[in-house]
A = this chain, B = another copy of it.
Amino acid sequence: MMSGRRVGLLDVDLHGPSVPTMLGLEGRRLAGDEDGMLPVQIGGLNVMSVGFLLESADSPVVWRGPLKMGAIRQFIEEVNWGDLDLLVIDVPPGTGDEPLSICQLISDLDGAVIVTTPQKVAAVDVRKSISFCKELGVRVLGVVENMSGFACPKCGEVTQILREGGGRKMAEEMHVPFVGSIPIDPMIAVSGDEGKAFVEMKEGSPAAQAFRDIVAAIITQ
């Protein structure tokens, strides 16, 4: 999806680092050299996650705010990312220490991609994240609506499991761009659990096409 670009992926979901599982990198540890920690490499992608530092997969990260800020600073300043075209940062939901640290530590952020689901309960939380970006002067590159409708594999009936269109409506009300909806596909959970790329596992599916269109809409901005 990022063909030809040198990309880094930084997982700052310190309490729930899912990136190692979703990329099939569980159990991998970081190497270091005199220039700092080296990210884990997979298919040309440079990856950093607190998951690579934990003793076991079940170890919790019981850190309060200031410790989190320190860890995130290290991930940015002391990891030898090499020469990147893009650094993608995966941030947990909310407006707490993790996104705040990123916004304060990286002065030239290109912007934020906001992911929601269609129902109002999710949109209510995400509206706060958009206000947070506006307060901190971070451009919102786009809102993505995930888990948007499910087509029964037997009869084709589409059910709006988590309601319909809440992401688009919320983006319009908050005056930020809407960049696409990803339909529910059971293979998304399977591919994430197995550490494989969904867009390659189910190439040509509506959800894979949605992923591609969304990346294209964000990258060309």
Is A176 in the interface zone, CB < 8 Å from B? no
Identify the closest chain B residue to A184 (Cβ).
B161
Closest-CB distance, A61 to chain B (whole angstroms): 6
For A64, give its contact among B18, B65, B93, B163 (CB under 8 Å).
B65
**In the complex, which residues of chain B have a beta carbon less than 8 angstroms from the beta carbon of A127?**
57-58
Sample of 15 more A-B contacts, CB < 8 Å, known A58-B128, A153-B159: A15-B128, A16-B128, A21-B120, A22-B121, A64-B100, A65-B65, A68-B96, A119-B189, A119-B192, A152-B157, A154-B155, A159-B186, A161-B184, A161-B186, A162-B189
**In the complex, which residues of chain B have a beta carbon less than 8 angstroms from the beta carbon of A66?**
64-66
A-B contact pairs, 7 of them (CB 8 A): A15-B125, A58-B128, A65-B65, A65-B68, A150-B150, A162-B186, A163-B190
Identify the closest chain B residue to A101 (Cβ).
B64
In the complex where A92-B94, A157-B155 touch, is A61 in contact with B15 (Cβ < 8 A)? no
Chain A residues proximal to chain B, CB less than 8 Å: 14-16, 18, 21-22, 57-66, 68-69, 92-97, 100, 118-121, 124-125, 127-132, 135, 150, 152-155, 157, 159-163, 174, 184, 186, 189-190, 192-193
**In the complex, which residues of chain B have a beta carbon less than 8 angstroms from the beta carbon of A155?**
152, 154-155, 157
Identify the closest chain B residue to A194 (Cβ).
B120
For A15, give its contact among B15, B63, B94 (CB under 8 Å).
B94
